[in-house]
Structure 1
């Protein structure tokens, strides 16, 4: 493939990232705006919502997103190979797996209060967090778009239902997204990619589950990592202030991550498409373009955050104590934004190429063998508090990012294209259909 054609393809990748970023931004806004409004209700409410959103919903998010990400690899590579009819079959298999997984995860929400108490959270935070229920993620993980800020504002400012009102509207917003997406898929606008419901979706489900489990492990280890940051803050002496301040920082980090997640989705699609189409050099060049773009955007956001370091905490909370802790954490937050802008793009390469199992091992070592223990040592025995916990855990993210860089740099993309061809043939064959 010539240089001009590769350049055109990579412009298409950046264009593809735009809608993905917008979608991610809208999705994240559902929980983020609710959390922001909770911060203006009170410190306890902010801490409780942060625990619910990070621990309860975070656990569910990691599992559901991971169990659904296998379809990204298969659909992307099948599309690149021109096998459009298989996209609908893979989607239906993913729905079956996600619905079963969602039914199991439902019990985590039902028993949220005793679960939080068992893992050592304070009773006041646990009771407030346990009162929130957010069940609407289910089918959405494989078909996305949404916007609900006005409804959430009404729940807090007009009905005066407080946390319960925000949680109820958040739940309704997710279901609204799911219904619209199903209408879009069933309307026939997807062409050959949606062949209608078929019994092929039930064929070789166990093989699909195994592939999904590898993806789930990779995604869960990433999603739960920063969930653990909020969880550990709940064990500090002044837990409400620590969790509330950290929730403000993770809220901002989440907003910036919506851009990185958009790049993650775009590079996943591009790499899987190009490998499926046997264009390894274009896949490699796409990775370079996407990682550089993600880094530059993360750098600009970090600089803006440091410039407005004194002003932005007031947007998220009323407590002066919380604002002071947020101010002290801002330089670390800015550094984390840069690192977390690069890491999702590299993870997207892993999903597109089908490296989920390998990256799961990398995540275990970097996050849970290195990052978490270091954070706990700095935070507790060395009395650095929430800042020490974050120092250790961001060190784990840096190590993981460096290893991903090395893996991508050493990749034989011709070999990966050959592996993709074999994967497509296997899942297209009788065992896959």
Structure 2
């Protein structure tokens, strides 16, 4: 009898373990579906949006080597500088809309969106001198005179694109927070195809040259933004869009503070790469160094755009669950999201190692540039892997509204650690551009470690309480 009782106990334990394993698999599967519902459209839209810049660079590279270096300089420094501010400030929209959606305050999402438009449009307008006076700015920074002069025309053409980014980025965050960003993905894909067709027509058939390539970029971005507005105005978001309202001009200061901290957080990260491009301009054979480094960074950023889908998923999942008050679900979602993103990073890491010596030919036929890109391929692969981890950690912080803490971490890791190491290795050794990039990787890895420690030590029950207080303080009744 005693042996039968022990056998029954063992059978019960085995059954309970089996049930727990099945329950865990079910939970992982359910969370994975929720992540991919946000991540896949985000990947598609971000990859195609950035892909339009890549296509433009590739087309310009086959027109003129000088114009390629000029576009690389403007795109990697000025556009990335301003775009970094926009992406950062737009992440405040993602935080506020995600938490409002989770709390069921749907009508507040449209108000937050309009407040972001006001703040971002004013900010971009204040930054326009960077485009208007790009040539003297680059000359003053010590860049090659011919390249700096060539940036003037390119910068003026890119001004409409930067203004269109204001609406494209904020609307994407707004739709993503309510799990409706698939429309953004399809519009981005259509715009990408339109851009390829217009680039081929304007540059290679009609021989419009550089204006044709940049004009195609403007038209394709306009198509995407117009489609987003049509979707919202024609009833795509009946719960969250109640039309334009004067409430958008009220309580701007709290949104400004969150937008500024968000902007600083992401700009410090995006400017980091831009500063390294600037440093490359002081290396030996600067034109080749800038072109090669820019190509590698653009490939890296293109992969980062895909991994930013996981950033969006992490942000939306954390923000939604904070709005609902589910601290336990937040912790589980973080683990699943990180594991999924790292798998993607390993895939890109392997691809880059295998095809690293062929990447340069996609952008230019200049053998010197292609050879330098090949030399940088190992560092590119390492960057690809880190790109799969860092965005998820940032997304968790954005979803929780911890941008100000991350801004401090980025400042220290990138500008106190990464850039000094890059300068030391780039100018005091024979590594040159490779040394600069090694410094960049050191800063990124340090940031990943710091963010991981911060997230592990975060009390999510406290964050739930803070989110509830914030939503209550900014709430306005729905008058419709």
| C-alpha distance in structure 2 between counterparts of 1:271 and 1:210, whole Å | 21
Q: Deviations over 1:177-235 (max 9, x none)?
A: 22221111111110111011111111111221111111111011011111111111111
Residue 7 of structure 1: CA displacement? 4.6
Deviations 1:46-96 (A, max 9, x none): 211111101110111011112221111111011001111110010011111
CA contact (8 A) 1:309 1:330 kept: yes
Aligned residue number for residue 178 of structure 1: 225
Greater CA drift, 145-154 or 16-25: 145-154
- 1:86 — aligned with what? 108
Instruction: Choose the corresponding residue for 2:166, options 138, 161, 164.
Output: 138
Shift of 1:43: 2.7
Q: CA deviation at 1:6?
A: 6.8
Q: Does 2:89 correspond to 1:61? A: no
TM-score by length of 1: 0.95
Conserved in 2, the CA contact under 8 Å of 1:14 and 1:290? Answer: no
Residues 1:423 and 2:445 are matched in the alignment: no
In the TM superposition, what is the alpha-carbon distance from 1:250 to its structure 2 partner? Answer: 1.1
Q: Secondary structure at the match of 2:236?
A: coil
Q: Secondary structure at the match of 1:304?
A: helix
| In 1: Cα distance, 2:151 partner to 2:341 partner | 34
2:378 match: 331
1:267 and 2:295 aligned: no
**Structure 1 runs of 4+ off > 3 angstroms?**
2-7
- RMSD, aligned CA: 1.6
Corresponding residue for residue 116 of structure 1 = 138
Bigger radius of gyration, 1 or 2?
2
Which one of 202, 220, 227 corresponds to residue 155 of structure 1? 202
SS of corresponding position for 1:195: coil
The TM-score, its normalising length taken from structure 2, stands at 0.86
Secondary structure of the residue aligned to 1:292 is: helix
1: distance between equivalents of 2:359 and 2:215? 28
Cα distance in 2 for residues equivalent to 1:99 and 1:297: 35
Q: Is the 8 A contact 1:43 1:241 kept in 2?
A: no
Q: For residues 208 and 17 of structure 1, what CA distance do their matches in structure 2 show? A: 25
2:253 aligns with: 206
Q: How far off is 1:349 after superposition? A: 0.7
**Paired residue secondary structure (1:193):** coil
Distance 2:224 2:297 in 1: 24
Unmatched segments (≥5 aa) in structure 1: none
Q: Give the C-alpha shift of residue 287 in structure 1.
A: 1.3
Identify if the C-alpha distance between structure 1 residues 300 and 9 changes in structure 2 by more than 3 Å, giving closer, same or farther.
Answer: closer
Structure 2 Cα separation of the partners of residues 165 and 235 of structure 1: 31
Q: What is the aligned partner in structure 2 of residue 355 from structure 1? A: 402
Deviations 1:261-296 (A, max 9, x none): 111111111110011101111111111111111111
Q: Residue 192 of structure 1: SS of its match in structure 2?
A: coil
Q: How far, CA to CA, are the matches of 1:69 and 1:114 in structure 2?
A: 32
Gaps in structure 2 of 5+ consecutive residues: 1-22, 173-183
Match of 1:76 in 2: 98
